[in-house]
Amino acid sequence: MSLLRILVLHGPNLNLLGSREPGHYGTTSLADINQALIELGDRLGAEIITFQSNHEGELVDKIQQASLARSELGHIDGIIMNPAAYTHTSIALRDAVLAGGKPFIEVHLSNIHQREQFRHRSMLADTAVGVIAGFGACSYELALRGLIHHLKNTGG
Ligand code: DQA
């Protein structure tokens, strides 16, 4: 199978990882999370493209680009996304992943079900291949393994 190409999207405030509420999100920086994903992707046969934004529309734009045959992103096989606070509010992100049709995994560092009630609801989870939450930075690595497994078993 040719190299898979996976887009990893990080939502608002995740640029602050490392210093932001370490009790919930740990001390690993976003740069270190991305680097670990790139290295794991190398071992598993996937190219990783990462993007973080604090703006809902920019995340929508990336999801749309990922579904186009020709875009500046190039071909994308699947998406890993931590929509952060937009998880709980964003019909726009939900509609974007539904319209794009690319398999995606929802990721959270914290176990959102152990936290405030408003974090228990996800606008996206039922459209995802799977959801991983509660393993800190390791959630992303589990998501990458899960998405690659899914893509190899379904042919993408
Ligand atoms: C988060 C959980 C969200 O509720 C929160 O708004 C975040 C991060 C997580 O990774 O645990 O920003 O998605």
Provide the residue range defining the domain that includes 61: 4-154
Nearest alpha carbon, ligand 1 atom 2? 84
Report the pLDDT averaged over residues 71-78. 92
Q: Which of the residues are catalytic?
A: 25, 108
> Is the Cα dihedral 134, 135, 141, 146 positive or negative?
negative
87 lines ligand 1 (CB under 6 A): yes
User: For position 123, what pLDDT does the model report?
Assistant: 98
pLDDT at 26: 87
Instruction: Provide the number of structural domains found in the chain.
Output: 1
> 48 CB less than 6 Å from ligand 1?
no
**Can you give the pTM of this predicted structure?**
0.96
Helix 56-67, helix 91-100: angle, nearest 10: 10
Tell me, in angstroms, the distance from the centre of ligand 1 to residue 77's CA: 24
42: domain CATH number is 3.40.50.9100
- For the Cβ of 138 lying below 6 angstroms from any atom of ligand 1, the answer is no
Name, in order, each residue with C-beta under 8 angstroms of 83's C-beta and a sequence gap of 6 or more: 9, 11, 59, 90, 93, 106, 124
